[in-house]
Amino acid sequence: MNEQQGFVIWMTGLSGAGKTTIALEMLRQLDGRNLKLERLDGDVVRESLTADLGFSAEDRRKNIERITFVAKLLSRNGVGCVCSFISPYQAVRDHVRENTTNFMEVFVDAPLEVVIDRDVKGLYEKALAGEIPNFTGISDPFEAPQNPDIHLHTDQETVEESARIIIDELERRGLIPVVELA
């Protein structure tokens, strides 16, 4: 493999499922491999690129549309793009797949009771009390991927194991070079 191919790792799942944590661990494990990688994360992107959008279905669609454009540019120019977004609608995720290079949908899955227990921001408590409208998994739907490329179960795997599963698949597909572990 002479030149890195671009790719998009699209992590979808409920708030608190572990998307950001796994993305950061994956990048940590890949550090030192001389790869071109960028991380796009829901909270970070909402502070800058999509700060003007709310959480209605239409605004969520626009949010992912803008992110898709960035991921498309990065991936077609040989950059591995690690994306962490709730992205609750399958049609929207399918749109990302159709418009980016070497797309892999990763379902970061944890039961609702587990993500509620993990919730350090208190968002689920507020959503259950009706204080946050359009909250995915409570008052707004989450369409779980029916055929994700990778299905992680973060209530059963360590963060390190989940990240390694993604890296192993990238290596298997020839998107990053295989590194023999000592």
Catalytic residue among 75, 84, 87, 162, which?
87
Cβ atoms of 33 and 112 within 8 Å: the answer is no
How many structural domains are present in the chain?
A: 1
87 is annotated as an active-site residue: yes
Structure tokens at 22: 């796994």
131 within some domain: no
Cβ atoms of 167 and 161 within 8 Å: the answer is no
28 within some domain: yes
Give dist(CA 24, CA 142) in Å, integer.
23
Query: 81-125: per-residue pLDDT in tens?
Result: 999 998 888 998 999 999 999 999 999 999 999 999 999 889 999
In the DSSP assignment, the letter for residue 120 is S
Structural domain including 35 reads 7-110+143-172
136 within some domain: no
pTM listed for this prediction: 0.90
Q: What is the CATH number of the domain that holds 98?
A: 3.40.50.300
